[in-house]
Chain A
Amino acid sequence: MASGFHAALKIAKKDILSQVRKKFEIFSMLLFALIAGLAFSFALPSALVEDLGGEAAIGAALIWVIVFFTGMFGFAPIFLAESESGTLRGLSVAPIPAWSVYIGKVIYGFVLMSLVEIFIIPVIQVLFGFTMFGEEPLLVVATLIIGTLDLAAVGSMASALTMPSESKATIFPLVYFPTATSGLILLIEITRVMATGTVVVIAAGLTVSLLFVALLAHLVAMITLSAGVFSYALSP
Chain B
Amino acid sequence: MSHLSSEAIETTKLTRRYGYRVALKNVDIKFPVNGIHGLFGANGAGKTTLMRIISTLLRPHGGKIRVLGYDPIEESIEVCERIGIVGDKDLLYGELSGYENLEFYAGLYGLSKEILNVNSTKLTEIFGVKSWLHEPVKILSTGLRKRFDIVRSLLHEPELLLLDEPFSGLDRDTTEVFKEYLGEIRKSRTVILTTHNLQLGVELCDDYVTLRKGEVLSSGPASEFDGVL
Contact of B96 among A18, A86, A90, A95 (CB under 8 A): A18
A95 touching B109, Cβ below 8 Å: yes
**Given A95-B109, A236-B58, are A14 and B81 neighbors across the interface (CB < 8 Å)?**
no
Q: Which residues between 35 and 58 of chain A lie within 8 Å of chain B, taking CB atoms? A: none
> By the criterion CB–CB under 8 Å, are B107 and A89 in contact?
no
- A91 / chain B contacts, CB cutoff of 8 Å: 108
CB distance from B23 to the nearest CB of A (A): 12
Give A234's nearest chain B residue, CB to CB: B57
Q: Which one of B55, B85, B94, B108 contacts A96 once the chains associate, using CB atoms below 8 Å?
A: B108
Q: Is the interface of A mostly helix, strand, loop or mixed?
A: helix
Closest B residue by C-beta to A82? B93
- Chain B interface size, under 10 / 10 to 19 / 20 to 34 / 35 or more: 20 to 34
Asked whether any CB of chain B lies closer than 8 Å to the CB of A181, the reply is no
The answer to whether A93 and B55 have CB atoms under 8 Å apart is yes
Q: Is A210 an interface residue (CB 8 A)?
A: no
Give bound CA distance, A7 to B111, whole Å: 12
- At the interface, yes or no: B77 with Cβ under 8 Å from chain A? yes
**Given A2-B108, A2-B109, A95 contacting B77 (CB threshold 8 A):** yes
B178, chain A: closest CB distance, angstroms: 20
- 9 pairs, CB–CB < 8 Å, chain A vs chain B: A1-B81, A17-B95, A89-B87, A92-B57, A93-B56, A93-B85, A95-B108, A95-B109, A97-B77
Known interface pairs A85-B94, A89-B89; 19 further A-B residue pairs with C-beta atoms within 8 A, sorted by A's residue number = A2-B110, A3-B110, A18-B96, A22-B95, A86-B91, A89-B85, A89-B91, A92-B56, A92-B57, A93-B80, A93-B83, A94-B80, A94-B109, A95-B78, A95-B80, A96-B77, A96-B80, A235-B57, A235-B58
Residues of A within 8 A of B (CB): 1-3, 6-7, 10, 14, 17-18, 21-22, 85-87, 89-97, 235-236
Q: What is B's interface to A at a CB cutoff of 8 Å?
A: 55-59, 77-78, 80-81, 83, 85, 87, 89-96, 100, 104-105, 107-110, 136
